[in-house]
Amino acid sequence: MIKLLKNHPFFSDKQIDSCDCLENQGYCNENYLVVADGVKYIVRKLLREDIDREFEWKVQHLAYAQGITVEPLVFDRENGFIVFEFLEGEHKRKLDENELKLLAQTLQKLHSITIDAKPIKLQTDTSRVECYPKEYVLCHNDLNPQNIFFSDDVKFIDWEYAGMNDRYFDLACVCVEFGLEGEMQEVFLRAYFEDGYNLEKLEAYKIIYQTLCEEWFQNNFKIKEKIDEVIN
pLDDT digits (tens, 9 = 90+) for 93-140: 999 999 999 999 999 999 999 999 999 999 899 999 999 999 999 999
Neighbour count for residue 108 (Cβ, 10 Å): 17
Taking residues 144-155, what's their average pLDDT? 95
Check whether domain 97-214 has CATH 3.90.1200.10, yes or no: yes
CATH architecture observed for domain 2-85: 2-Layer Sandwich (3.30)
Question: Which of 172, 104, 161, 158 has its CA nearest to residue 138?
Answer: 161
pLDDT at 219: 67
Confidence band, pLDDT 50/70/90 cuts, at residue 228: very low
Is the model's pLDDT at 26 over the cut of 80? Answer: no
User: Within 13 Å of residue 186, how many CA atoms lie on the same side as its CB?
Assistant: 2
Mean pLDDT of the chain: 92
Determine phi and psi for 77, rounding to 5 degrees.
-65, -40
- Is this model's pTM higher than 0.95 or not? no
Give domain limits for the chain: 2-85, 97-214
pLDDT at 106: 98
